[in-house]
Structures are given as C-alpha cells and as structure tokens.
Structure 1
Amino acid sequence: MIQLSRQSTNYDKHRYYEIIIDGILYGNIGDGETTDIDIVDGNHSIYLKIDWCRSNELIFVESKDKLIGFNCGNSVKGLKKLLGVLYISILKNKYLFIKFVDTVS
C-alpha cells in the first residue's frame, strides 16, 4: 500500500490532482488530503497530473511488508509565483512535485 499526502496551498486549492501509477489513473487527491492506495507488489512509477501540467515521475518497489509514503503539491511558491506563466508552459512538467517520505512499517 502507498500513502499520498498533498500539501495545502492557495494554488489549485479547489482543484484535484490526478494520481497516475504505471500510466493508469488511480484516482484524485484534493488540497490537504491524504489517501491510501492498494497496489500489487513489484516495480511501479507514479506521477501527478493537472490539465496539461504534471509532476516529476518516481520509480518505487511495492511490498506488502511496508507502507510507502509520498508528499506532493504545487511547486509554484515563494518567488516562483513570479514565474507562474513559465511553469504552465515551458516548465509544465515541474508545475507539481512528488517526493518520497520515510517508509512507515
């Protein structure tokens, strides 16, 4: 099982991010939400998507012995807000982020 936690921000606050695992839509995650997803053991890839923008892609190995945690959210914060147009065009694959957190047993 994996656990995905989304940070709460003003950007995209009322929008959902699509959770894509192995190229398949597994559901959505809202602002400030945490969701658990059951997947089969083995090698997998995960990324998030909103409209034409997305996050980086992570590769992980699922095992029923452990819970794999991820944090995600919008990359456009702080001074990056001044580059918002750049993030929805040229840097569209960096508009969102996803990263590993410590594995929970």
Structure 2
Amino acid sequence: MTKIIVRRRKAIWQDRGRKYTVLLDGREIARVANGSEVEFDVDPGKHTVQMQIDWCHSEKFALDVRLAEPVILECGPNASPFSAIFYITLRKNNYIWLRGWRDVNV
C-alpha cells in the first residue's frame, strides 16, 4: 500500500466553511476541510484523483502510484468572491486547482 496525502490550502474567503470531496477513481473516498489535510492508502498502479464541491470540480489528476512512494496533492479554489459566478457557470470543470508531487520524506 502507498499513502496519498491531500492538503487543502487555507482560503480566506472562498469555500472556507465547506469541505471538498476527494474522488479516487471516480468514487468518494474522503472530505477535506479548509486548511487541513487527509490521507489514505491506495494500491500501487494507475489512479485518478479529482476534487469536487457541489457541481464544480477540479480537473482529474492522473497518478502512477509506486509502492512505498507517498504522493502529496495540494488543492484550493481558483475562484475568488469576485470571480465566483464566472467559475460556477463557465469554468465549473476548473473551479478547484489540484497539483501534486512525490515526497520520499513523508
């Protein structure tokens, strides 16, 4: 098993009181609050991770998970209070940003 850690960057305004759903291979696996992190174990192999809130979400992040190599993902809102209408209507597939890297010191 390998560990995936999802860290949600603390937002001052946007979505600060709501949790993001973590989807692993299309299935809900966890929820992460503003400024916190969740971790879960996955089998080695190819996986996708996506963040979601209501009908808005991030792009899918493809992973090729290797045994004993933890993966760290970080996310946060692309929208601000001023651009929220734009993101929830025209850019709902990119409402949340999601990026990641490997860290052997986790």
TM superposition score normalised by structure 2: 0.89
Structure 1: state its 5+ residue gaps: none
Q: Which residue of 1 aligns with 2:72?
A: 69
Q: Summarize the alignment of residues 17-96 of structure 1 with structure 2, pairs less than 5 Å apart.
A: 17-77=20-80, 81-96=81-96
Distance 1:104 1:96 in 2: 22
Instruction: Return the letter of the residue paired with 1:8.
Output: K
Q: Which runs of 4+ in 1 moved over 6 A?
A: none
Distance 1:8 1:26 in 2: 21
Deviation string, structure 1 residues 51-78 (Cα, Å, up to 9, x no partner): 000011110111222111111010114x
Instruction: Return the letter of the residue paired with 1:68.
Output: V
Structure 2: state its 5+ residue gaps: none
TM superposition score normalised by structure 1: 0.90
Q: Which residue of 2 aligns with 1:8?
A: 10
Percentage of pairs with the same residue: 23
RMSD between superposed Cα atoms in Å: 1.1
Distance 2:83 2:10 in 1: 20
Would the aligned equivalents of 2:30 and 2:38 in 1 still touch at CA under 8 Å? no
